[in-house]
Amino acid sequence: MPFDATAPNLDFLLIAAAIEMELSDRDLQVASKRYGLIAEHLQRTGGALADYMNDALVYAQGSRAIGATIVDGSSDDRFDLDAILEFRTPPGWQPKRVLDGLFDSFEGFPGVRKIVRCTRCVQLQFAFMHLDVTPMDPFAAPRRERAGNIYHSPDKGADALFSVNPYGFAQWFRQTVKLPSHQFQDQVRAIRSQMSIPDRIALNAVFADAETDKLPEPIDPLRDAPQVIALKLMKRYLNLRYAPRDRKRPVSIYLSKVSAEVPLNIFGLCAQLEALASELDRRMAVALASGQQPEERNPVFQDENFNDRWPKDATDMVVFRGDLQHLLAELARARDSELSEIQEIFDQLFGERVTQRAVRKYLDGLSDKAAPAAYERGKGFLAAPALVAAAAPAAASTSTVAAPQVSRAPAHSFHSGLLK
């Protein structure tokens, strides 16, 4: 999969924007260190759950497990990371007791600024980072690997258990998403090597350099798959859209599953993002027409419904469809725009700071021979042969490859005051 012949420069900007949302290598090291400290801290003498932590298992779930972690965007440069704490719960313990006990056990965790007891997890808040730790009681053997019950204990309403298998989903995701060509991967790595991703967590961490340097983070090639990059961009876009609203956004694991099910698009990254938005829009349309909730089951564990808490009502789906159609319309407009217009569009879609850095990197990579006024309509603005030359042999000519069909629905703007 080379950069698309219909919008190679637009693809470059989208990739650069996605890279700007990533964690730096040192931030990844600090995050790994904090994962590693969970079991150690809970096992300490005197801890509220210490007696039950001997066989505890801690592992990443969610975006961290599939290479799709991004800067939130709606609240500075914060990362939200998720972990499962798997341990045998004493017989008779109710969800409230488990979550309250875990909350107490995290007192004194290194570097934590605030600890919050949530409905299904305990959240550790650090500078520029939240770590959500979800306790899980594993099923008795024989069982699917790392399947069990998580605890649900809201402020109002009854406690409950939910059967889940986040580890199995992450494995399915990795097996389903196929890596692109080596050529595409090389192009993404080349762009990343030229960019300077700022340290956000590491600069405010309590760990010494020597400690974090002992934790080399393995490079995850899945993070450069077009489906994963499109997922990152979709998540960032929705974070910004939902920030001013008093309404829950679609859950990340639902977006992740759909992104894995959308086939690799031969027309490039912009087309991949359009295909993801179109498929989500189609599913919402079907759900609205049928009057049924859009259930989305874990493909390896059918008891788990990813959408058990979303949408709350039909309006949630209508609002989400409006966002998807707005994204499609703006990407269609970007395909036929000049650079200054592209920057304005991307500022709105993905955030001003990310867009400015991506555009700056694009301009830095322009060939000295490229005339600033040489725009190509339909190719996503100024031609930059120096940035996309490696893709030329594999890319079909624009005379034989038609641009993918995208929605040209009018833009929508929803405000929290209209939704209450």
pLDDT at position 22:
86
Q: Looking at the predicted structure, is the pLDDT value of residue 182 above 60?
A: yes
Query: What is d(CA 305, CA 192) in angstroms, rounded to the nearest whole number?
Result: 36
Choose among 153, 165, 163: nearest CA to 101: 153
Q: Residue type for 192, please?
A: R
- Which has the minimum average pLDDT: 273-282, 287-296, 407-416? 407-416
- Which has the minimum average pLDDT: 132-146, 338-352, 375-389? 375-389
For range 240-260, the mean pLDDT: 95
Mean pLDDT, all residues of the chain: 82
Q: Looking at the predicted structure, is the pLDDT value of residue 386 above 90?
A: no
For range 35-62, the mean pLDDT: 90
Q: Looking at the predicted structure, is the pLDDT value of residue 111 above 50?
A: yes
pLDDT at position 366:
58
CB-based contacts of 272, cutoff 8 Å, min separation 6: 226, 227, 229, 230, 262, 264, 265
For range 308-332, the mean pLDDT: 97
- What is the pairing mode between strands 79-86 and 129-138? parallel
Peptide bond into 311 cis (omega under 30): yes
User: Which of the four pLDDT bands, split at 50, 70 and 90, describes residue 395?
Assistant: very low
Q: Looking at the predicted structure, is the pLDDT value of residue 394 above 80?
A: no
pLDDT at position 20:
87
pLDDT at position 181:
86
| Residue 305 in tokens | 């419904």
Query: What is d(CA 362, CA 349) in angstroms, rounded to the nearest whole number?
Result: 18
What predicted TM-score, i.e. pTM, was given to this entire model?
Answer: 0.83
pLDDT at position 409:
32
User: Which of the four pLDDT bands, split at 50, 70 and 90, describes residue 391?
Assistant: very low
Residue 173 to residues 61, 223, 231: CA-CA distances in angstroms? Answer: 12, 12, 12
For range 82-94, the mean pLDDT: 93
Q: Looking at the predicted structure, is the pLDDT value of residue 201 above 90?
A: no
Torsion angles phi and psi, residue 228, rounded to 5: -75, -40
Identify the bridge partners of residue 148 per DSSP, sorted by sequence position: 138, 164
The answer to whether the CB of 222 falls within 8 A of the CB of 179 is: yes
pLDDT at position 396:
36
pLDDT at position 350:
93
pLDDT at position 204:
64
Class of residue 401 by CB neighbours under 10 A (exposed 0-12, middle 13-18, buried 19+)? middle
Give the three-class secondary structure for 346.
helix
User: Over the stretch 4-16, which tens digit does the pLDDT of each residue have?
Assistant: 556 678 899 999 9
DSSP 105-134: HTTT-TT-SEEEE-SS-EEEEETTEEEEEE
Residue 168 to residues 191, 338, 391: CA-CA distances in angstroms? Answer: 32, 44, 36
pLDDT at position 253:
96
Identify the bridge partners of residue 297 per DSSP, sorted by sequence position: 305
| Residue 205 in tokens | 């961490």
Give the three-class secondary structure for 283.
helix
Query: What is d(CA 8, CA 394) in angstroms, rounded to the nearest whole number?
Result: 12
User: Which of the four pLDDT bands, split at 50, 70 and 90, describes residue 83?
Assistant: very high
pLDDT at position 205:
66
pLDDT at position 21:
87
Query: What is d(CA 224, CA 68) in angstroms, rounded to the nearest whole number?
Result: 9
User: Which of the four pLDDT bands, split at 50, 70 and 90, describes residue 212?
Assistant: very low
Identify the bridge partners of residue 298 per DSSP, sorted by sequence position: 301
Q: Other CB atoms closer than 10 Å to residue 374's CB: what's the count? A: 11
Sequence spans of domains, the chain: 8-23+181-199+217-419, 25-173
- Which has the minimum average pLDDT: 23-32, 170-179, 303-312, 313-322? 23-32
Identify the bridge partners of residue 382 per DSSP, sorted by sequence position: 375
Query: What is d(CA 235, CA 256) in angstroms, rounded to the nearest whole number?
Result: 9
For range 113-121, the mean pLDDT: 96
Highest mean pLDDT: which range of 56-60, 100-104, 413-417:
100-104
**Which architecture, in CATH terms, is 25-173?**
2-Layer Sandwich (3.30)
DSSP 30-83: HHHHHHHHHHHHHTSTT-TTGGG-TT-EEEEETHHHHT-----SSSTT-EEEEE
Choose among 186, 357, 188, 383: nearest CA to 269: 188
User: Which of the four pLDDT bands, split at 50, 70 and 90, describes residue 134?
Assistant: very high
Specify the length of the chain in residues. 420
pLDDT at position 202:
65
